[in-house]
């Protein structure tokens, strides 16, 4: 095996046209977080399994050498670590030190181990990238900033997001990813059962 054959797989899976694809993805990411419950299409990355194209694209846009990352056991593979290191340079960190965490909802739990910021620096909170099998605009009722009246989103549970909202302005923010779709749930969103 040559050095070239070990590097080539890492090079693949990133943006083929970084300026255009990252700008388009960034716009979709900001729209998803500004409009909780709204599902956005996002693509450009083809990461190794089990990372979805949407979560891979989120990683390419949001991660860099200054954003410590924790991979949940559901996603902690040598191939994914190598791909993320090559494309983002994000350092791996324990859950309580991470600014970003990626995994399935079950593997990310308990979520109270993630940073929620401090009163002086609420922006020093973690962002969770939760991999789901599908996203739908049904489920719990969402209200709050960015939502005109109300929205709905198929969340993996309600209690953790209600507890997170009680910490506001502290708390973690969440992106949900499925296939080539994302949705955002900032800590400011009020989540209620229907």
User: CATH 3.40.630.30: does it fit domain 17-192?
Assistant: no
- The token pair that represents 98 in the structure block: 């991470």
The more confident residue out of 81 and 7 is 81
Predicted model pTM: 0.93
- Give the span between the Cα atoms of 146 and 173, in whole angstroms: 14
Percent of the chain with pLDDT over 70: 94
Q: How far apart are CA 71 and CA 30, in angstroms?
A: 23
* Residue in this structure with the two tokens 């956005």, named with its chain if needed: 40
Distance between CA atoms of residues 190 and 120, nearest Å: 23
Per residue in 1-13, pLDDT tens?
444 444 445 567 8
Compute CA distances 138 → 9, 23, 24, 70, 155, whole Å: 38, 29, 26, 29, 9
The band of 16, judged by pLDDT with boundaries at 50, 70 and 90, is: confident
User: Collapsing DSSP states into helix, strand and coil, what is residue 189?
Assistant: coil
Given phi > 0 = left and psi -120 to 50 = alpha, else beta, which region is 74?
A: alpha
Residue 78 CA to its chain's centroid (Å): 20
Residue 163 in this model has a pLDDT that exceeds 50: yes
CA 44 to chain centre: 15
Q: Would you say residue 42 has pLDDT above 80?
A: yes
Tell me which residue of 151, 133, 148, 137 sits closest to 191, measured CA to CA: 151
Share of the chain above pLDDT 90, in %: 88
Q: What is the average pLDDT score of the chain?
A: 93
pLDDT digits (tens, 9 = 90+) for 97-153: 999 999 999 999 999 999 999 999 999 999 999 999 999 999 999 999 999 999 999
Instruction: Tell the residue number behind the tokens 């399994």, with chain if given.
Output: 49
Pair 189, 183: CB distance under 8 Å: no
């Amino acid at each position: 095996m040559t050095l070239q054959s070990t590097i080539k797989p890492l090079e693949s899976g990133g943006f083929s046209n970084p300026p255009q694809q990252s700008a388009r993805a960034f716009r979709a990411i900001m729209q998803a977080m500004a409009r909780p419950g709204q599902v956005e299409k996002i693509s450009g990355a083809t990461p190794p399994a089990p990372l979805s194209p949407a979560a891979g694209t989120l990683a390419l846009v949001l991660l860099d050498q200054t954003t410590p990352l924790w991979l949940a056991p559901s996603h902690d593979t040598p191939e994914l670590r190598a791909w993320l290191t090559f494309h983002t340079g994000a350092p791996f960190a324990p859950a309580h030190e991470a600014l970003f965490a990626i995994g399935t909802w079950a593997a990310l739990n308990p979520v109270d181990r993630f940073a929620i910021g401090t009163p002086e620096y609420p922006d020093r909170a973690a962002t969770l990238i939760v991999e789901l099998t599908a996203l739908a605009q049904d489920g719990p009722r969402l209200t709050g900033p960015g939502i005109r009246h109300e929205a709905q989103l198929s969340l993996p549970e309600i209690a953790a997001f209600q507890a997170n909202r009680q910490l506001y302005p502290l708390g973690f923010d969440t992106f949900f990813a499925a296939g080539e779709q994302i949705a955002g749930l900032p800590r400011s969103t009020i989540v209620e059962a229907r």
